[in-house]
Structure 1
């Protein structure tokens, strides 16, 4: 079967099972977005704390690096005995996998802010919290968002493994298609995942530009 015929068969399979596809896509997207949002909520404050205390920095980055070296299937295997099957253990595994890129980029972005800009803000009488909110975070935003975009794209692929612990998602079609040598089913699950990764990356890039414009305007007002 040629490439065109294979893609046509995959498209035909998708549309003939479209209701199932929408359910799997919703599960997949929910796993990715919720895990990345939770990772942002945890990793950004941890990154800020790490830049203020060298001991905290070593501890946080050390734990993050160790967590990232553990294979995804191993994380799922560790979570399964504690939380069982379903959405929650899948979410925990994806959350753990999304932490490190956001954490390391937050630390890197904040530490690379030009010291002369910070010194000028201190000279104007700004407190450390004001400097963080009005100077450091706006300047570090592109680097932090690079970590968020990396986590989102990685988790789109990682979420396929949620199938093994009953987490649903597009992995249901991909893993089943591999097991049954059903190439149209496999591609019907894999291609939308690739398009989803591209779409999320573009969405976060747009959000970064929007927030960047707003925060830089605030910064220019703050620094006079």
Structure 2
């Protein structure tokens, strides 16, 4: 299933790249930093368990008016939190600062820009593939399972603010729905999984 989703994402990005070549008016390349929170929900028998942890990211992006492609290295930051409404899952609440995770996040977004002169507003949607790199607890590697990779549908909005003829400030907000939230190879039939993420980013780009 994940291979199919990855193939679809590659086709979408390739098609968007072809469209951009004919429609783009400005091309930008830049760097950005981000802060966000992915969270996962397990539901069983009317009970719910939620897991979340903040992530900080740094990366690069390419923008061609109607398409934005980015690659970010993300690492967990702060406490890893698990909370539940009952003891069905065997644990009510856990908070630890000894769980660390890192990933490579690849994102492609189709943009609908609104040109207001020195300010360009945009909204859009696309896909993000989060490739799990490490997962550690108390300094020990606890998993290299590719099932920890996540594939998201994302919606985004941002502003490209002209600082001068060649430099832009590019803040953005992204929300994602996880299509592959199950962290296990075999999904229990009586457990429902869902996952989401949000991210705030700030970037600086130059016209190329």
* Band the TM-score falls in, shorter-chain normalisation: under 0.3
TM-score (norm 2): 0.26
Higher-RCO chain (CA-CA 8 Å, sequence separation at least 6): 1
Instruction: Name the one with the larger strand percent.
Output: 2
Bigger radius of gyration:
1
Instruction: Name the one with the larger helix percent.
Output: 1
